[in-house]
Chain A
Amino acid sequence: MKQNTFYLLVGVVGLIEVGLFVLSVRLHNPLIITAGFIMGVGLLYVSRLMITDYKEDERSRLITQEAGFRTLEVFWIIFFAVSLGTAVIGFSTPLGIPRPRAIPHDFPRDGVYLGYFGVIQMILLCCIAFLYIGFRIYYAHKYGEWDTDEE
């Protein structure tokens, strides 16, 4: 498989995921998007192994590792801080124990707005992608990815 074909596949899978998300919301069934997303990413990981015109060596692996490590180093602080805030919302009840709730009839309704945390998570995960790209550009430049010479 050519690298460009893989990028096309990424786009198609992305569109399908958006469709599954809308379907999940309409049918009030979070399992559809959860399972669909895992399958979609799995498909992309398998497809990535079939790319024939991309050569990876120790320098490109180093760039990926450095960028990934720095992204994680920055990101976990932000993500943990937001998660802590959400945990406070969840446990802000007498004795710190979550209030027992009756099974909602129109699932998913969330009395303490924890559902919105999912949206914040998604926004943060989009930010992680940009952060990673930024670090990747930095390290690629550092290790001479776009250098040219007389040849």
Chain B
Amino acid sequence: MKNKIKVYRAMKDLTQEALAQELKVTRQTILAIEKGKYDPSLELAFKIARFFGVPIEEIFTYE
């Protein structure tokens, strides 16, 4: 699964640590998601999409 978290994070000028704190996860989790090493749960994926104010399919793409 691909994602655009890094892009949206850059648009909001957020660090991984700041995003992690907002989503109540660790920085390593954000990093692992961005690198495609870990696919988040549906709940976390929705949280991320809601945080950036976009539909979930805008951030996550299934390949």
Which A residues form the contact surface with B (CB < 8 A)? 55, 57-60, 62, 142-145, 147-149, 151
Say if the beta carbon of B54 comes within 8 Å of chain A: no
Q: Which residues of B contact A62 (CB under 8 A)?
A: 38
Say if the beta carbon of B25 comes within 8 Å of chain A: yes
Also in contact, A147 and B40, with CB within 8 A (given A55-B26, A59-B25, A59-B26): no
Say if the beta carbon of B44 comes within 8 Å of chain A: yes
The complex places the Cα of A142 from the Cα of B38 at a distance, in Å, of: 8
Within 8 A of A (CB), among B22-54: 24-26, 28-29, 31-32, 34-35, 37-38, 40-41, 44
Task: State which of B15, B17, B28, B40 has its C-beta within 8 Å of the C-beta of A145.
Answer: B28
Docked-complex contact B31 and A149, CB < 8 angstroms:
yes
Q: Which residues of B contact A60 (CB under 8 A)?
A: 26, 29
Q: Which residues of B contact A143 (CB under 8 A)?
A: 32, 37-38
How far does the Cβ of B10 sit from chain A's closest Cβ, in whole Å? 11
Q: Which residues of A contact B17 (CB under 8 A)?
A: 151
Docked-complex contact A57 and B38, CB < 8 angstroms:
no
The complex places the Cα of A60 from the Cα of B40 at a distance, in Å, of: 12
Q: Which residues of A contact B31 (CB under 8 A)?
A: 144, 147-149
Task: Tell me the nearest residue of chain B to A141, going by C-beta.
Answer: B37
The complex places the Cα of A25 from the Cα of B28 at a distance, in Å, of: 47
Docked-complex contact A59 and B16, CB < 8 angstroms:
no
Also in contact, A57 and B26, with CB within 8 A (given A143-B32, A151-B15): yes
